Copies of this chain bind each other. A is one copy, B any other.
């Protein structure tokens, strides 16, 4: 093979610099997950095909990567008319494998079961900017409890993750029951999903855009007028008078006798009450009631969460989630309510990069390079190297005896901040000359103890 090799479209290699940054993101999230009592789970990349099909809609089914059968099985399948060339497939998300795991292990698990899972998923989507065929998901879910304390905890957890990443964000919270209440209020129950989907776009297209789309889809002018009037009464969520929306909605639902809407408001109110009463210290990462938030509406039945960066120019969703009433029913285990969130690692990466929030010392994991001056010096350096590593400092010895500039280029390319010079002079004097990369100086001769003190 003489042509330069490549990788499948929509996939990526992550080299050292990207990997160290990604590890910082995943490590931070994982630490907070564990601090909140979520425990790790990993499921296989491959699931049985029938575990996955029918769970993501028709479009989803088409995007599942399937594993080709092998050997005699494949031959038989081809002869049978190619109807069943695959019996296994790559996981499409972490939620269905999680549900499958819970059902399979229901007798051993301690409920409520709190798990986190950080693994790649695969989707045969058309690749485009920011959309990949392999990407990590980063989920935490609690299943087997209907308590709203779970929602409170998840909001705190999201705040704490972004606090730890030093990123200012806005946490949007809504409740699907409020959306269903609006549907009832505006008399569009027969077209609920459609109505909510259009309403969800206000963020992007504005009130006039929503009205236009409603008209285009043959909603009556009364519905359009009612919704427009309603929007006119809403106070923007970031306004300090924002909480008045709650009272306004409450009055509307009460007057029209919309029980589901009132229930949604109560649930949301309970969550905000707990947050306001000391569950969180939320200073930078404020929580808002976003009346129109509807993400994943076919799926969620209660709380809905979404987090957006409040810094930089990238304002797409970097974390989201919600409550679902029946995750495991499709696998035969009824009555399991759960609530969960999912962090979008790729988007968080982009936001941290743009806002310059990655810690600088992530650039390299090696702190010190011993230059190689020849066989005798290298043998001597191996002992010094051992001392430095015993002090917990990541370090290495340049393995080949080449000209010094080449060794310095290596340190520079790899982002190693310090080079130790141990020539014959230093060796005989029991010293090391320490040079800081980028500093225009000869470097200081020092003992190993001093060097270790300096680098620690």
Interface residues of A (CB under 8 A from B): 1-8, 11-16, 19-20, 23, 34-37, 39-48, 50-51, 62, 65-68, 70-71, 78, 82, 85-88, 90, 100-101, 103-105, 108-112, 114-115, 120, 122, 124, 133-134, 142, 145-147, 149-150, 152-153, 156, 160, 274, 277-281, 330-332, 364-366, 369, 372, 378-379, 382-383, 385-386, 389, 392-397, 399-401, 409-410, 413-414
Distance from A139 Cβ to chain B, minimum over Cβ atoms (Å)? 14
Distance from A363 Cβ to chain B, minimum over Cβ atoms (Å)? 11
Q: Out of B100, B122, B383, B396, which one reaches A45, CB within 8 Å?
A: B122
Rounded to whole angstroms, the CA-CA distance of A410 and B149 in the bound complex is 17
Asked whether A8 and B88 contact (CB < 8 A) given A150-B399, A386-B278, A399-B150, the answer is yes
Rounded to whole angstroms, the CA-CA distance of A134 and B90 in the bound complex is 12
Asked whether A44 and B12 contact (CB < 8 A) given A68-B85, A274-B379, A399-B149, the answer is yes
Q: Are A45 and B45 in contact (CB-based, < 8 A)?
A: yes
Distance from A283 Cβ to chain B, minimum over Cβ atoms (Å)? 13
Q: Out of B6, B67, B279, which one reaches A68, CB within 8 Å?
A: B67
Closest to A399 in B: B147
Q: Taking the full assembly, how many copies of this chain does it contain?
A: 2
22 A-B contacts, Cβ less than 8 Å apart?
A: A3-B332, A4-B332, A5-B51, A6-B104, A7-B46, A7-B47, A8-B46, A8-B47, A13-B43, A13-B105, A23-B40, A36-B394, A36-B396, A37-B365, A39-B365, A44-B134, A46-B122, A67-B67, A78-B78, A152-B382, A153-B397, A274-B379
Q: Out of B147, B332, B365, which one reaches A400, CB within 8 Å?
A: B147
Q: Are A42 and B13 in contact (CB-based, < 8 A)?
A: yes
Contacts of A105 in B (CB 8 A): 13, 15
Q: Out of B15, B36, B153, B400, which one reaches A145, CB within 8 Å?
A: B400
The 8 closest A-B pairs by CB, nearest first: A37-B396, A110-B413, A11-B44, A16-B39, A147-B399, A278-B383, A19-B40, A279-B382
Contacts of A399 in B (CB 8 A): 112, 142, 145, 147, 149-150, 153
Closest to A409 in B: B110
Closest to A416 in B: B37
Distance from A336 Cβ to chain B, minimum over Cβ atoms (Å)? 13
Q: Are B383 and A277 in contact (CB-based, < 8 A)?
A: yes
Q: Are B44 and A13 in contact (CB-based, < 8 A)?
A: yes
Contacts of A44 in B (CB 8 A): 7-8, 11-13, 134
Q: Are A13 and B39 in contact (CB-based, < 8 A)?
A: no
Contacts of A67 in B (CB 8 A): 65-68, 90
Distance from A68 Cβ to chain B, minimum over Cβ atoms (Å)? 4
Contacts of A50 in B (CB 8 A): 1
Contacts of A153 in B (CB 8 A): 396-397, 399
Q: Out of B16, B46, B152, B414, which one reaches A134, CB within 8 Å?
A: B46
Distance from A266 Cβ to chain B, minimum over Cβ atoms (Å)? 13
Rounded to whole angstroms, the CA-CA distance of A414 and B113 in the bound complex is 9
Contacts of A4 in B (CB 8 A): 103-104, 331-332
Asked whether A124 and B70 contact (CB < 8 A) given A8-B88, A394-B34, the answer is yes
Asked whether A41 and B19 contact (CB < 8 A) given A5-B48, A277-B382, A397-B149, the answer is yes
Closest to A151 in B: B399
Distance from A183 Cβ to chain B, minimum over Cβ atoms (Å)? 29
Q: Given A5-B48, A11-B45, output 6 extra A-B contacts at Cβ < 8 Å.
A: A7-B104, A13-B41, A13-B101, A15-B101, A66-B70, A68-B68
Rounded to whole angstroms, the CA-CA distance of A15 and B114 in the bound complex is 11
Q: Are A37 and B124 in contact (CB-based, < 8 A)?
A: no
Contacts of A410 in B (CB 8 A): 110-112
Contacts of A14 in B (CB 8 A): 40-43
